[in-house]
Chain A
Amino acid sequence: MAPPDGKEKQKRKEHRVHSKGGKVTKKKDREKKDGTSKVAPPEVNRARKGYTFKSANKANRAVRRAADIDEKKKHIPYVDRTSTLPPPIIVAIVGPSKVGKTTLLRGLIKNYVRGALSQIKGPVTIVTNKTRRVTFIEVKNDINHMIDVAKIADLVLLMVDASYGFEMEHFEFLNICQIHGMPRVLGILNHLDCVPKLAKQRKIKKQLKHRFWTEVYQGCKMFYLSKITNEKYLTNDVKNLARFISVMKFRPMPWRDAHPYILCDRFEDITDPEVIKKNDKTDRAICLYGYMRGAQLKEHSAVHVPGIGDLRVASITSLADPCPFPDKTKRRGLNEKEKIIYAPFSGLGGIVYDKDAIYIDTKGAQSFSKNRKRNELVEALENVKVGIDDKMQNVELRLLANSKKAVTNVEDGDVEMDDEEDNDDYSLIDEDEEFDGMSEEDFKSEDDEENESGSDEDDGEELFKKRPTTDQTLVNAINAPDLNLSDVANRAAQLYTPSKTTRINWNKIVYDEDNATKEETQENDELTAGLFTIKRKDKAKTLYSQEDGFCYRQFPSTSTATINNWEDSEQRATISDCFVTGKWDEEAAEKKKLKDELRGAKHGDDDDDDDVWDAFDLDEEGNPLNDDDEDMNESDEDHNDEEEEVDGEAKEDEDSEGKNEDKSENKKDKKKMRLRHLFDPDHDESNEYFNNLKAELEDQAKLNRNAFEGLEDQDREKIEGFRAGVYVRIEFSGIPYEMVEHFDATSPYIIGGLLTGEQNIGVVQVRLKRHRWFDRILKSRDPLIISCGWRRYQTLVIYSMQDHNMRQRFLKYSPEHMHCHATFWGPITSQNTGFLAVQSVADRIKGFRICASGVVLNLDRNHQVVKKLKLIGTPHEIHKKTAFMKGMFTSQIEAAKFEGATIRTVSGIRGEIKKAIPRPPGNVRCTFEDKILMSDIVFLRTWVTVPIPQFYTSVIDHLMTPENKWEGMRTVGKIRHELGLKPETKKDSDYREVERVEFRAPTLKVPKKLEAELPYRLKPKHGPMETKPTKEQSFIAKHTAVILEPEDSKRERLMNMLRTLHKESETKDKVARDAAKEKHRKEVEEFETKRARNIKLHKKAICRRLSKQEQSKKSN
């Protein structure tokens, strides 16, 4: 380093004076006070535009960008239809075989609850959290199961063997998921410890992660299971995974929101064993259990069970939740007892079940010490000392607490215990302490069942009549025969008289089956005072046999039969408040007043009168109201007062001062509002529409939740259906015995609800694209297995392309890289539903199995796909412009179909088929726009409809054994392949060598007349006229000897001699030339060889010298 120059001083860092901060400001303030400020006041103009934009373009772009970002954040709002009690989320563990699915499931279960399950089969439900329950399900490496699970899973744990990488199953499953509404996917890398080197491990991780991201989305979470010890993953790994599961959030999926579905976790065959004993192949009745998910399911609705078929629900009952949430007390975690595990398929504990309740014994899985409190249900059961039958014997019915026993013994059977409807408003039976263990409902319903057979309608009615509500006016008001119940009734009547006004139980009138039947059965009674005042022309006619459309004016509830006398002033007054002139309730009046005021303010300016308010004006001026009614008058006066006030206000407006004050106030308010809106993102004006929509949907969601809040569960289920989150038991009948016989708990059993119309079969038109990983193109009419909606089914698909005039043109094969339309016969599924197709589910084919995917576009009963048809015929008779055509059709009937069709010759002469002629069959009479030639070929171009094969069969893999898999229809190609057959060839279709005759253009002939008229330069030049010698001439020429003159002959001879000489010399010359050429060639050749030899020698010498030089160099 050079020493610093002595002359130049080292430059030191300057001292920087603080220009900001507490001290500086203080100093400045002080100086300001003193007036000793040194700092010049800042220039006014400097940095004036500091915070505004300088370029309009940039500003434009910035504004647009901001708007784009804002817009991107928005999702289409939807009505939140999730129930308040969420069902367990379904976590599916998916992956090819031998990736550690079962081990992971074991680990996860162990993480939540103590005590391992000996063998895991089917879904396992665990309460993991205060607000979350999880159903784990392991998915076998079977495409049927993968498809089913993709439709219901909320979260997918996709297991990947890191030492191997991704396998086809992974991509297949991801593709299936994408089509059926993407659940959340969590990739899990396993077997990382099989990769010895850490660097390689890292590389693999990175590679797989990026591949996974391209498949799912950028930044998708991947999880790594680092190690396996003792057949278990590290506790921390599993715990972390569990944490991820517990915080996972889910986006709603339209299909699942609209359809109810259940993942069955319990199964029961309830067929009468006697029947099975007689015939073990009889159809079965079964029960499936599970949590309701998605939308609400109603009783008797149509459902589809993938792998079995379409079924109608025989009955649904909601059961006690086997995995209830803990109490809503504020505690951090769950205690051991609250971490309930429920997995009937895995044989978790003995299950005791009643018709309407399940009792689970977890074999002490959760109870470690004996003094721990055990399951209430179990305890209650143990406490029961008397059997149900005994209780039934001794049961007593008390209608009210402390009342006499109404019914002492049920055995008689003639006294009805209670009616379901009677419980609508209040419970008739007091709670009995002994029955703690069982819900009261159960007990009642059982009673009902027992007594239903012996029930007598009269008795039921008698009880009815005891009811104090005014249903008794509706239901026959016949005096009840005095029973010992009468005093009870009296008491009840005293206690339960809610209001003086009568009440109508509309629900009962509309939905009560009794009423429905009664009205038919009792028509001979004089029912005029009863429910239905049916005006009958013919007394014998029941309601159902009357003419349609005349009972609009019949009102069973009101006594309008006694025609109101609308002349009567009292009668007229009963509706006086239905008019604007009548009395308003407070809210409405307030609203009206506001409107009036607004109008009053407007009044001065313009006379823009709303029709609605015309009435008032008239009232004020003309007052045509009658004075009979005081109330009406009063209200009117009130109204007038209001009007005056309004007027007064209007006058005030003229007062300028008041106006100004008002205005300033208004201004302030406005400013305030504006400011508030500025900081409230929801009040952004640009988002007004979006926010309004969102608010509207939120209101609807709130209403959906609250509308039936107060109702009893039973009624609610009737109206709403069974909500998500409820544990239900669903009964089916008519199930093939195979289902029970081949029941496999490890495969998912799903019940998917069908909406109205989806139970039918029709023609489905879809937009389809062959999957780019599938290695073949698809052929029309080949069977495909399609998964669409809940269903998996096989059908024959016809491919087509839409022309510009919306014509569906038949395609023999699906396009390679383009979308096309496909049409098939299958179950109707709503538009925009995604579907995927596979060719076979039975055997494991190499490569990617999903061959196509797309969405449903159109549903109908038939659909026209057409293909081009070209019929060729030839004329066999021509009269001017009419021609008779042969060879186009084979029969007269066929030909008759095409009468009126347009035809065309090759040369472009257009025509029409007029009539099919009887003989010879298939011939037609046609007319053309010009005369055609016999050599012309005539075309008929038309479209012919391609029939859509009506083949549809659902995949019934649940009815098959694992060994004997469902295969379905095979393609012809596959059958041929299996049988080792070659496709038969028609001789006709073989290729042959094409023999083409060389084209010879005919000489141009110009008619003589035309030629004569042509100018000379256009006339064809023929050279000297060559007149062909006539026969005679040629004959003469042939036989005429020409004798030359002696001089001529001499000249001729000379010429001949000269010609011969010239020829001779030419040949000689040629020979000499050739010899010379040959000689020259040889000379050149010799020279060349010599030269080459010399060059070679030369080169050799040079090389030799060079190498010698090199050697000498080396040796040196």
Chain B
Amino acid sequence: MPRANAPNNVAEELPFEGPNFFRLRVCYAVLSGRPIVVSAIREDEDNPGIRDCESKLLSLIEKITNGTKIEINSTGTRVTLRPGMITGGCVTLNCGNDRCLSYFLEPLILISPFCKQAMRIKLLGVTNAPNELSVDQIKTGWLNVYNRFILNDEALDLKIERRGLKPGGGGVVIFSAPVVRNLRPLIREKPGKVCKIRGQAFVTKVSPSLAHRAIDAAKKTLRDYISDVYITVDQRKGDAGGNSPGYGLFLYAETTEGVFYTAEAISRPKGENGDPIVPEDVGTAAGVALLEEIARGGCCDSSSQVLASTFMALGEKDVSKFLMGPLSTYTIHSLRHLQQFFLTTFKIDDFAALDAGKKALEADMRIGDPHKALLTGVGVGFKNLNKIII
């Protein structure tokens, strides 16, 4: 008699297309344990297939996991990932110079609390790059959202050992994170009021006077709001300054409730063509970016919305609430990916339509963008399956 087989249709692959949100997909796949297929990666381009940074990311994932199977087809346009268990541990990786280190740090941060051994990862590459999230922003913006979700954030740190700018790179950062059993549900509905603005102008292999000029310009942009504005200069020489000259200005604003808004502007990398930039432009740009960030408001800055929403979804089966500024495209897609991977859907209310928002509007509060989004959601009951019990 033919024997019946147990059906098993829970391990099917999730199909995706295109190179965008590659990190999110990989990272969510690793967290959820669901295999993915990403196809049509730069199919129509002159240089098809995955780039160097993507392959580096995959190798990083391979290093911090156990049993991950990655298949890349010959043209590199199709990647299949069967995730294994997350081990974490100490890893060093040279990330190349085409993408900023934040590209690698973001998925690492999302994965980091659910490792077998605490993560301590040394990344080499570019720490600050134009148009990209910088390592400073991650350190201030992301880690200050991260630590709300865990009880003990002692081990959580991002250390910038060396600064490296494009095109030469040479930066070194060390990211370490604790291991948790589960994340805490979080209620963050009040962003508070900005009470101080701090900043750091960094110069690598150029004169520190450029930094001071940028600081002056930024202070001019940030005038009239509060007087508690302090911007320091971080001058890097020799190895600590990486391989390329450049300068930039990183600003953050802290509120009474401990929310951090970050902004950054940076000089044009050496050798890149374009209009000449003076330090004043950099300073103003950073200041404007910070003001925009404040205008958006919420309980996290716009880049760490992804982190907050992911960690809310990965919590216990409890309700979390988080007020965010207007959702960025990246966040919107991360929410969609969360729905695909973890089947979580958030209730997203327009802040202006809520009682608190209405009150604020009635009181003629000028709190920037009225269309903040209040995310309310239930965690999926995610537990760290990798932790060892002795």
Specify whether A and B are partners. yes
Q: Are B196's CB and A311's CB within 8 A?
A: no
Q: For the complex, what is the distance from the CA of A343 to the CA of B195, rounded to whole Å? A: 65
Q: For the complex, what is the distance from the CA of A510 to the CA of B334, rounded to whole Å? A: 9
Q: For the complex, what is the distance from the CA of A548 to the CA of B334, rounded to whole Å? A: 12
Contact of B291 among A566, A704, A862 (CB under 8 A): A566
Residues of B within 8 A of A759 (CB): 10-11, 33-34
Whether B329 sits at the interface, judged by CB under 8 Å, is yes
Q: Are B256's CB and A719's CB within 8 A?
A: no
Residue of chain A at shortest CB distance from B370: A501
Q: For the complex, what is the distance from the CA of A96 to the CA of B287, rounded to whole Å? A: 78
Residue of chain B at shortest CB distance from A802: B390
Q: For the complex, what is the distance from the CA of A1089 to the CA of B381, rounded to whole Å? A: 100
Q: Are A614's CB and B348's CB within 8 A?
A: no
Q: From residue B386, how far is it (CB to closest CB) to chain A in Å?
A: 7
Given contacts A506-B348, A553-B302, contact A700 B294 (CB under 8 A): no
Q: For the complex, what is the distance from the CA of A576 to the CA of B367, rounded to whole Å? A: 7
Q: For the complex, what is the distance from the CA of A299 to the CA of B360, rounded to whole Å? A: 38
Q: Are A510's CB and B85's CB within 8 A?
A: no
Given contacts A532-B329, A552-B328, A614-B196, contact A295 B381 (CB under 8 A): yes
Residue of chain A at shortest CB distance from B187: A703
Residues of B within 8 A of A862 (CB): 66-67
Residues of B within 8 A of A501 (CB): 352, 361, 370
Q: Are B389's CB and A832's CB within 8 A?
A: yes
Contact of A79 among B318, B333, B367 (CB under 8 A): B318
User: How extensive is the interface on chain B, given as a class?
Assistant: 35 or more
Given contacts A516-B336, A857-B389, A858-B388, contact A544 B347 (CB under 8 A): no
Q: From residue A532, how far is it (CB to closest CB) to chain B in Å?
A: 6
Q: Are A546's CB and B19's CB within 8 A?
A: yes
Whether A542 sits at the interface, judged by CB under 8 Å, is yes
- Per-residue CB contact flags for chain A residues 1034-1065 toward chain B (1 = under 8 Å, else 0) read 00000000000000000000000000000000
Residues of A within 8 A of B20 (CB): 543-548, 551
Residue of chain A at shortest CB distance from B193: A580
Whether B73 sits at the interface, judged by CB under 8 Å, is no
Residues of B within 8 A of A624 (CB): 223-224, 227
Q: Are B386's CB and A504's CB within 8 A?
A: no
- Per-residue CB contact flags for chain A residues 965-996 toward chain B (1 = under 8 Å, else 0) read 00000000000000000000000000000000
Q: For the complex, what is the distance from the CA of A310 to the CA of B10, rounded to whole Å? A: 6
The majority secondary structure among interface residues of chain B is: loop
Q: From residue B252, how far is it (CB to closest CB) to chain A in Å?
A: 13
Q: For the complex, what is the distance from the CA of A1015 to the CA of B360, rounded to whole Å? A: 112
Interface residues in B96-154 by Cβ distance below 8 A to A read 99, 102-103, 106, 116, 131-133
Q: Give the interface centre of A295, A506, A862 by most chain B CB atoms within 10 Å.
A: A506
Q: For the complex, what is the distance from the CA of A275 to the CA of B332, rounded to whole Å? A: 42
Contact of B17 among A310, A544, A734, A954 (CB under 8 A): A544
Q: Are B226's CB and A581's CB within 8 A?
A: yes
Q: From residue B189, how far is it (CB to closest CB) to chain A in Å?
A: 11
Q: Are A81's CB and B317's CB within 8 A?
A: yes
Q: Are B386's CB and A859's CB within 8 A?
A: yes
Q: Are A580's CB and B369's CB within 8 A?
A: no
Interface residues in A103-134 by Cβ distance below 8 A to B read none
Whether B378 sits at the interface, judged by CB under 8 Å, is yes
Given contacts A549-B103, A551-B328, contact A858 B389 (CB under 8 A): yes
Contact of A550 among B4, B8, B132 (CB under 8 A): B132
Interface residues in A543-569 by Cβ distance below 8 A to B read 543-558, 560, 564, 566
- Per-residue CB contact flags for chain A residues 55-99 toward chain B (1 = under 8 Å, else 0) read 000000000000000000000000101000000000000000000
Given contacts A511-B339, A859-B386, contact A956 B133 (CB under 8 A): no
Interface residues in B338-390 by Cβ distance below 8 A to A read 339, 342-350, 352-353, 358-361, 363-371, 373, 376-378, 380-383, 385-390
Q: For the complex, what is the distance from the CA of A81 to the CA of B315, rounded to whole Å? A: 14
Q: For the complex, what is the distance from the CA of A953 to the CA of B7, rounded to whole Å? A: 11
Residues of B within 8 A of A276 (CB): none
Q: For the complex, what is the distance from the CA of A296 to the CA of B380, rounded to whole Å? A: 9
Residues of B within 8 A of A560 (CB): 292
Whether B160 sits at the interface, judged by CB under 8 Å, is no
Q: Are B359's CB and A585's CB within 8 A?
A: yes
Whether A619 sits at the interface, judged by CB under 8 Å, is yes
Interface residues in B291-337 by Cβ distance below 8 A to A read 291-292, 294-297, 302-303, 316-319, 321, 326-330, 332-333, 335-336
Q: Are A566's CB and B221's CB within 8 A?
A: yes
Residues of B within 8 A of A310 (CB): 6-11
Whether B273 sits at the interface, judged by CB under 8 Å, is no
Residues of A within 8 A of B365 (CB): 577, 582-583, 585
Q: Are A548's CB and B6's CB within 8 A?
A: no
Residues of B within 8 A of A703 (CB): 187, 318-319, 321
Residues of B within 8 A of A715 (CB): 347
Q: Are A578's CB and B378's CB within 8 A?
A: no
Given contacts A554-B328, A572-B224, A585-B365, contact A757 B381 (CB under 8 A): no
Q: From residue A923, how far is it (CB to closest CB) to chain B in Å?
A: 37
- Per-residue CB contact flags for chain A residues 937-970 toward chain B (1 = under 8 Å, else 0) read 0000000000000000110100110001000000
Whether B47 sits at the interface, judged by CB under 8 Å, is no
Q: From residue A86, how far is it (CB to closest CB) to chain B in Å?
A: 17
Given contacts A558-B371, A580-B195, A584-B193, contact A548 B226 (CB under 8 A): no
**28 A-B pairs with C-beta separation under 8 A:** A502-B371, A504-B352, A507-B347, A516-B336, A542-B18, A550-B131, A552-B302, A556-B329, A566-B221, A572-B291, A575-B225, A575-B366, A576-B366, A581-B226, A618-B228, A625-B224, A626-B224, A703-B321, A707-B319, A719-B346, A736-B5, A756-B381, A757-B382, A831-B383, A831-B387, A956-B4, A956-B6, A960-B4
- Taking A549-B106, A615-B196, A859-B85 as given, write out 15 further A-B residue pairs in contact, using a Cβ cutoff of 8 Å, ordered by the A residue number: A299-B343, A502-B371, A503-B353, A504-B352, A510-B327, A510-B335, A543-B333, A580-B193, A582-B193, A719-B345, A757-B32, A830-B385, A831-B389, A857-B390, A953-B6
B residues lining the A interface (CB < 8 Å): 1, 4-12, 17-23, 31-34, 40, 42, 44, 54, 66-67, 84-85, 87, 99, 102-103, 106, 116, 131-133, 185, 187, 190, 193-196, 221, 223-228, 256, 287-288, 291-292, 294-297, 302-303, 316-319, 321, 326-330, 332-333, 335-336, 339, 342-350, 352-353, 358-361, 363-371, 373, 376-378, 380-383, 385-390
A residues lining the B interface (CB < 8 Å): 79, 81, 258, 283, 295-296, 298-302, 308-312, 499, 501-507, 509-511, 516, 532, 534, 540, 542-558, 560, 564, 566, 572-585, 588, 611-612, 614-615, 618-619, 622, 624-626, 628, 700, 703-704, 707-708, 711, 715, 718-721, 734-736, 738, 754-760, 762, 828, 830-832, 855-862, 953-954, 956, 959-960, 964
